[in-house]
Amino acid sequence: MDRQQEFVLRTVEEREIKFIRLWFTDIQGYLKSVAVSPAELEGAFEEGIGFDGSAIEGFSRVSEADTIAKPDPSTFQVLPWRQDDEQPHSARMFCDIVMPDGQPSWADPRHVLRGQIRAAAEQGLSPLVHPEIEFFLVESLDTGGRPPVPADGGGYFDQAVHEKAPHFRRDAITALEAMGIQVEYSHHEGAPGQQEIDLRYADALAMADNIMTFRYLVKRVAMDNGVRATFMPKPFADQPGSAMHTHMSLFEGDENAFNDPDDEFQLSRTARGFIAGVLTHANEISAVTNQWVNSYKRTVFGAEAPTAATWGMANRSAMVRVPMYSPGKASSRRVEIRSIDSACNPYLAFSVVLAAGLRGITEGYELPPQAEDNISEMTLRERRALGYRDLPTSLEEALREMERSELVADTLGDHVYEFFLRNKWRECREYQSQVTPWELRANLDY
């Protein structure tokens, strides 16, 4: 037993933890959980916890259903919920999913992301990630298919507007930091009920774990405050959607590999190649970074959501923005991917973005000229005249791009790639079969 496992066992005993929740994520990004008692924890470290993988979407077929969840002790954290004695008595750990022979499960999103982290390490690089996570607080999720009611009427950076949940952000940040997830900023976003909480940078795998924890905590804190949280990309037709603007940088040891003080934009060849790779493969990876039919309701109509595969210095309408908050600070040189939404599977989304960026570095992709105009206000004809390549406007279009992508297939592996496509084509067909209220209003009297 290693030191981390010993630390977990000792902490469980000292803190009188009664339940340890073992978490993992399915291919679509839904959080799964199994609880074990302290008495079973040592055995879980040694042998894992067996479960029926065929019952989890995309994990395994009935003929190969035996699957094992191996807890990762480095992810152990005590959950902040307090009981009657004012003490927390539950903890969580993320798991790696393995097969009975001990080999990693090809369906495990953590395993997919680890593959890209290893690919970066082979080039001497390590990725750091810092997301800005947007979401909505609404009065209820049980709306019968009608638009939800936002929990407040506030706008961008408004203060004290949480009519239904005045203490929500304070409680959410307290819960996050109690679990070791550091918060940089939080504020009200532009739409009524819309919030943003920015997490402090961490390595890519830890950040994906943090995002899954973030979603769980935010939903729980919202319930405790008498409202509900939704990460749906665009729940309101007349308001902006929820993005997860993701800042990324690559480090070589302690040095930021994206920084070059002699470049006009302070961007190294590594940074330029990374941006060029993300832009070149933007359409291929879109189905993963924006995985729902609803995701494209956010991106098609702009409002600071990217509509074309472009980059720019501090241009918030571009798909990739190079922030200029601290122009003289080498460690802060990073790129911001603005296409990703808050309802992605973070393990898979980070994987395909890293794969695209690394391909651009290794193959020496040339970075095109930056976009200086407000792209979201341009017509399709204007964008094409300037040579901008539009991003997919529907999940169907994104899936067709993904089907042609050798990069995405190699990154996700055959199992995840095939299941993801099959599952998302089913979602498209189900959506296309619906007759919407808009159609009835527009066409019923024809």
Cα separation of 383 and 239, whole Å? 24
- DSSP 8-state symbol, 82: B
CB atoms within 10 A of CB 391: 24
Q: Do 36 and 129 sit in the same domain of this protein?
A: no
Q: Do 126 and 95 sit in the same domain of this protein?
A: no
**Is residue 144 very low, low, confident or very high in pLDDT (cuts 50, 70, 90)?**
confident
Lowest mean pLDDT of 47-56, 65-74, 104-113, 212-221, name the range: 47-56
Q: Do 341 and 419 sit in the same domain of this protein?
A: yes
Among 62, 85, 105, the domain-final residue is 105
Among 105, 135, 163, the domain-final residue is 105
If we measure between CA atoms, which residue out of 296, 276, 280 comes closest to residue 392? 296
Cα separation of 30 and 246, whole Å? 20
Residue 13 has pLDDT above 50, yes or no: yes
In a domain, 364, yes or no: yes
CATH of the domain at 55: 3.10.20.70
For the segment 61-77, the average pLDDT, to the nearest whole number, is 78
- Total structural domains in the chain? 2
In a domain, 92, yes or no: yes
Q: Half-sphere exposure of 66 toward its Cβ, with a 13 Å CA cutoff?
A: 6
For the segment 425-432, the average pLDDT, to the nearest whole number, is 96
Q: Do 214 and 78 sit in the same domain of this protein?
A: no
- DSSP 8-state symbol, 307: -
For the segment 255-282, the average pLDDT, to the nearest whole number, is 94
Q: In the chain, what's the furthest Cα-to-Cα distance?
A: 73
For the segment 363-386, the average pLDDT, to the nearest whole number, is 86
Q: Do 83 and 178 sit in the same domain of this protein?
A: no
Residue 62 has pLDDT above 50, yes or no: no
For the segment 186-215, the average pLDDT, to the nearest whole number, is 94
pTM for this entry: 0.94
In a domain, 209, yes or no: yes
**Is residue 52 very low, low, confident or very high in pLDDT (cuts 50, 70, 90)?**
low
Q: Half-sphere exposure of 99 toward its Cβ, with a 13 Å CA cutoff?
A: 12
Burial 32-71 (b: 16+ CB within 10 A, else e): beeebeeeebeebbeebbebebeebebbbeeeeeebbbbb
Q: Do 120 and 30 sit in the same domain of this protein?
A: no
- The answer to whether 67 touches 59, Cβ cutoff 8 Å, is yes
For the segment 225-243, the average pLDDT, to the nearest whole number, is 94
Q: What angle do CA 23, 129, 362 make, to 5 degrees?
A: 115
Specify the higher pLDDT residue, 22 or 86.
22
Read off the tokens for 236.
């309101």
Residue 61 has pLDDT above 60, yes or no: no
Most confident of 35-39, 184-188, 291-295: 291-295
Q: Do 364 and 389 sit in the same domain of this protein?
A: yes
**Is residue 64 very low, low, confident or very high in pLDDT (cuts 50, 70, 90)?**
very low
Residue 238 has pLDDT above 70, yes or no: yes
147-192 pLDDT per residue, tens: 999 998 877 666 655 567 778 989 999 999 999 999 998 888 888 9
CATH of the domain at 341: 3.30.590.10
Q: What is the pLDDT of residue 157?
A: 61
Q: What is the pLDDT of residue 105?
A: 87
Read off the tokens for 392.
């997919």
Q: Which amino acid is at 389?
A: R
Percent with pLDDT over 90 in the chain: 70
- Residue 324 sits in which domain range? 115-441
Q: Do 368 and 313 sit in the same domain of this protein?
A: yes
Residue 381 has pLDDT above 90, yes or no: no
Among 82, 105, 128, the domain-final residue is 105
Q: Do 205 and 124 sit in the same domain of this protein?
A: yes
Most confident of 85-94, 258-267, 402-411: 402-411
Tell me the residue ranges of DSSP E strands in 151-243. Answer: 183-188, 194-199, 202-203, 228-230
Q: Which amino acid is at 365?
A: Y
In a domain, 272, yes or no: yes
Percent with pLDDT over 70 in the chain: 92
Q: What is the pLDDT of residue 188?
A: 87
- The answer to whether 42 touches 22, Cβ cutoff 8 Å, is no
Q: Do 335 and 383 sit in the same domain of this protein?
A: yes
Q: Do 210 and 83 sit in the same domain of this protein?
A: no
In a domain, 30, yes or no: yes
Residue with tokens 């109509």: 301
Lowest mean pLDDT of 144-148, 233-237, 395-399, 409-413, name the range: 144-148
Q: What is the pLDDT of residue 229?
A: 97
For the segment 58-62, the average pLDDT, to the nearest whole number, is 50
In a domain, 110, yes or no: no
Q: Do 154 and 36 sit in the same domain of this protein?
A: no
89-119 pLDDT per residue, tens: 899 999 999 988 888 888 899 999 999 999 9
Average pLDDT value over all residues in the chain: 90
**Is residue 63 very low, low, confident or very high in pLDDT (cuts 50, 70, 90)?**
very low
